[in-house]
Amino acid sequence: MKKVFVILFSFLVISVTAQENKIDRSFELSKNLEIFSSVYKTLYTTYVDDINEGDLIKTAIDAMLAKLDPYTNYYPESDLEDVKLQLLGEYGGIGALIHQKGDSVYISEPYEGLPAYEAGLKAGDLIIEVNGQSAKGKNSDQVREILRGQAGSTITVKVKRNEEEKTFSFKRKEITLPNVPYSGIIGEDLGYIKLNEFTKNAANNVLSAFNNLKKENIKGLILDLRGNGGGLLNEAVDIVNIFVDKGQVVVSTKGKTQEKSQTFRTTKKVVDKDIPVVVLVDGSSASASEIVAGSLQDIDRAVIMGQRSFGKGLVQNVLPLVYNSQMKVTVSKYYIPSGRCIQAIDYSHRDSLGRANKINDSLRTAFKTRNGRVVYDGYGIEPDIAIEPEYGSSILFSLVGKSLIFDYATEFARKHKSIPSAKDFKITDEIYDDFVLYLKNKDYSYTTPTEYSLKELLDVARKDKCDEDILNQLDAMKLKIEDDKKNDLYKFKDEISEVLLSEIVVRYYNQKGRVEAYINHDPEVKQAVNLLHDIKKYNDILKK
């Protein structure tokens, strides 16, 4: 009897304590809301200058959310188009990428089959006016804002092309960005699918592309998730379902409430559980990309190749607020089949400067795949075959950043009505020499890492009052490096040619052509092709 009494008493103490904690938290919520309201009212009624109430509240909300993680965001009614674009890949607009150069904004790429493309807008067009509103002095975000609008509404865009002004009038549409810009045969008997985003219908688009490739009797598949920042979780689950049996756990979420803690399994019949698959990832592959790559790795269904992924193991929901505003809130963490969470940054603990840091290696836990391979939590998806990333040269970054490759491609397209197919087109010596000639009077100045280091060394040497002879030698070295830079256009010809090829091809064959042209030169795709042609090595990796 005494034992039962102790248990009942303990239960009552726990219940009362929980109730008191609940009351305390409710009081804190009410108290802090009252304080905030009091501060806002005081500013509104007594501050010496007029204040913009909406901006003030938005700033306060953004500052509060900055204490959490970068994925928890507030969206006023005016930003709802951005929410649709992020989550569904949809927005009301013209269907074109734009970019800024100096004080001007240009059309970068009109998407094939969408309003801008159908109306006749082209890459390189300088935007002068939109619906009679001058674009002069506006940045790309401001121009993008006036290009977007209600689907079905008429828009008039005036551009400058080859010194001639042209006006295009057409209707905006509900734009759905293509999440699979390209799929095709590579390496003679292998399939390749590039997936850009996990927006609505991503899984159906991947499935459609895969079924078409299977008709060509492919012997393996490369699923390219590089640069894919993620999107809808259900699309990730359905993509995994293409390659694994029905009923397989793909991902589990754990949140504060039972409602936010769920397990997601494959629900459909597998399409192909035997075909060898290589998944390409990089440091920009995040969220849903990591669910696909990580679950296929945990189930030993695919070989992951490339660089360690981003490490985003947080799940967001978009919740409605008052006055048509919305909030994207981190509601849970996700865990892939082995039981690991791949979240790389711990936002709940910050250092003395308020910075959130990556989870320490010593705190990472080992897990095992279905076949017993060791994998780790806490820092993205580590590829089964790691490939060192290739970084562009300083001169390439300068040429791209100053839009000189873009501008040359526009001029090239004006002079040449057609080129060979995307996969057959090459940057010949003649084309490259013409590009070098085009740059003759252009500013593409840049500073190399070597120059930065030498400048720092010279500064330190002067402060240390080094011998004049040493300073002279360093100055001579500086002049030598500057002289050596004159050869950079040809020293880095191969990498510059790749970007030049991509920019020219997109003028003729759009986004699909850009991918098709590049994958033939992509070193990581080549390694994936080699692995899929060596089935013994492929199987050995998954058996480790």
Q: Active-site residues: which are they?
A: 287, 298, 312
Q: Where are the alpha helices (DSSP H) in 319-428?
A: 394-401, 404-415
Query: What is the DSSP code (8-state) at residue 231?
Result: B
Report the sign of the C-alpha dihedral through residues 514, 519, 522, 525, in that order. positive
Query: Which structure tokens are listed for 168?
Result: 């295009």
Query: Which structure tokens are listed for 48?
Result: 């010496």
The beta-strand segments (E) located in 256-335 are 262-265, 277-281, 303-306, 314-320, 326-335
Burial class (CB in 10 A: 0-12, 13-18, 19+), 396: buried
CB atoms under 10 Å from CB of 323, counted, come to 6
> What whole-number distance in Å separates Cα of residue 391 and Cα of residue 376?
27
Backbone angles phi, psi at 130, to 5 degrees: -130, 115
> What whole-number distance in Å separates Cα of residue 242 and Cα of residue 250?
12
Write down how long the chain is.
544
Query: What is the DSSP code (8-state) at residue 47?
Result: -
Amino acid at site 264? F
334, 313 contact by CB (below 8 A): yes
* b/e map 41-69, b = 16+ CB within 10 Å: eeeeeeeeeeeeeeeeebeeeeeebeeeb
SS3 call for 189: coil
> What whole-number distance in Å separates Cα of residue 65 and Cα of residue 229?
21
> What whole-number distance in Å separates Cα of residue 255 and Cα of residue 259?
8
With tokens 């000189």, the residue in question is 404
3-state secondary structure 237-269: HHHHHCCCCCCCEEEEEEECCHHHCEEEECCCC
146 closest CA partner among 298, 136, 284, 413:
136
List, in order, residues 6 or more apart from 150 with CB less than 8 Å away: 92, 172
List, in order, residues 6 or more apart from 103 with CB less than 8 Å away: 136, 137
Burial class (CB in 10 A: 0-12, 13-18, 19+), 536: exposed
